A and B are shown apart, each in its own frame.
Chain A
Amino acid sequence: MSRLRAPFSVEHLVARILLCGGLLGIGLVLLGLVLYGAHGGFRHHVLDVRRQPAVQPPGVFISVRQVADGLGRRPIDPLAVTALGLIVLMMTPAVAVIAAMPAFWWTGDRRYALVALVVLALLAVSATLAGSLH
């Protein structure tokens, strides 16, 4: 019996990217937590839930560079793996819209390819503006 392939739809592409991005992000988050537990982190670490100004506690990363440094360290910093998962998670919605743009164009829906492009531009302006205000 032959399997019928569902026709291509932008919705299914975006859904797949959101699903894969979500699962990859959470997979890395969990991997980091497991490694952290294996290194005795849960037993030895006391979590300070109060934020101290001008102090960067373990587990807080403020740049991609810091995450990369943690991943390159030997032994690897398990919380850098978790932070990488959070970065993947944060980027997933934007990646989905980036993929939707050519997909709309390819299916002949030029209007929504343009809408997706404008949404991306607005997101970029918004992030840049927020960054400069911060």
Chain B
Amino acid sequence: MSLTLFSIAVLLTSIGAGAVGAILGLGGGILLIPILTVFYGVDLHYAMGASIISVIATSSGAAASYLRTGLSNLRIGLFLVLATISGALVGALLAGVVPVRALELILGLALSYSAYTTVKQLRDELPESPPDDPLALRFDLEGTYHDVRLERDVVYRAQRVVQGFSAMFGAGLLSGMLGIGSGAFKVLAMDYLMRLPMKVSTATSNFMIGLTAAASASIYWSRGDIHTLIAAPVAVGVLAGAYLGTTLMARMRNATVRKLFLPVVVYLALSMIVRGLGLHLP
């Protein structure tokens, strides 16, 4: 494939990945890495380098828009990112000490349960009015956004903050130990445990993943994993896609976002269980 054709094809693919990433709070790596390696034959290291750029570009594009509209909550994002980065640091130190397969299996089963709960609350538009959590009040973990689809202001406050913070620490821990992105776990913890509106969960995750990706981007850079001719069309496409995604998501129902998110949870649960059992799929 010529360089021109490759750049155009990757650019168009990245627009789609950026839009999906912005809507689901994932960053696009979950889509981009397999597409770049399988369909374009890109080396896994270069694909991962392009993916880290895509996460930052999606985060910058989407979070800039979500913060202005109130869908992304800066305080909740900063508060929870404390837990994920701490967890990732501890996880990196524990890597090689704790049996990875057992962890992957436990994580896969936990994700399967999350998929089950996601199915149960698939039609829920907004969480019920929350009881006052003292930590949520103390740390101002609440907000308001105007829901374009529902045509009204939605007021929300985090619930079960200790559980949510612990889950974020766990997500960071696993991310540090297994070297996987944790955007999906962040969304699940905010949606299921902290009972934030689904759109707030994915929008806030978008802000958080950019911060954690920025911390590790320098490593990919110094390892030579970021090829400008691969990362450049990815960055341009993903940023454009992120703007498209934020526009689409604002007009979606929370239940629709959750329905789109469900296949991601099921895929992650299955892949973790398969890895945990030591099986290799063709």
Q: Which residues of A pack against B, CB within 8 Å?
A: 10-12, 14-16, 18-19, 21-22, 25-26, 29-30, 32-33, 41-43, 45-47, 49-51, 56-57, 59-63, 79, 82-83, 85-86, 89-94, 97, 100, 109, 111-112, 115-116, 118-119, 122-123, 125-127, 129-131, 133-134
Contacts and interface: CB of A to CB of B under 8 A. Distances in A.
Given A59-B229, A94-B214, A127 B219 contact: yes
A49 B214 contact: no
Nearest to A123: B215
A127 B227 CA distance: 20
Contacts of B45: 51
Q: What is the interface of chain A mostly: helix, strand, loop, or mixed?
A: helix
Given A127-B215, A127-B216, A12 B68 contact: yes
Nearest to B211: A93
30 contacts: A15-B63, A15-B65, A18-B60, A18-B61, A22-B60, A26-B236, A26-B239, A42-B4, A47-B6, A47-B229, A50-B43, A59-B228, A60-B224, A62-B221, A86-B228, A90-B53, A90-B217, A91-B214, A93-B59, A93-B214, A94-B211, A122-B82, A122-B85, A123-B214, A123-B215, A126-B88, A126-B216, A130-B218, A131-B218, A134-B223
A126 B89 contact: yes
B173 interface: no
**Residue from the set B41, B53, B70 with the largest chain A CB neighbour count within 10 Å:** B53
10 nearest CB pairs, A to B? A22-B60, A15-B67, A19-B64, A18-B64, A51-B43, A93-B210, A122-B85, A93-B214, A90-B217, A49-B42
Contacts of B42: 49
Interface of B is mostly: helix
Contacts of A125: 89
Given A21-B60, A59-B229, A115 B79 contact: yes
Given A12-B67, A60-B226, A62-B223, A89 B86 contact: no
B195 to A, nearest CB: 22
Contacts of A46: 3
A90 B78 CA distance: 18
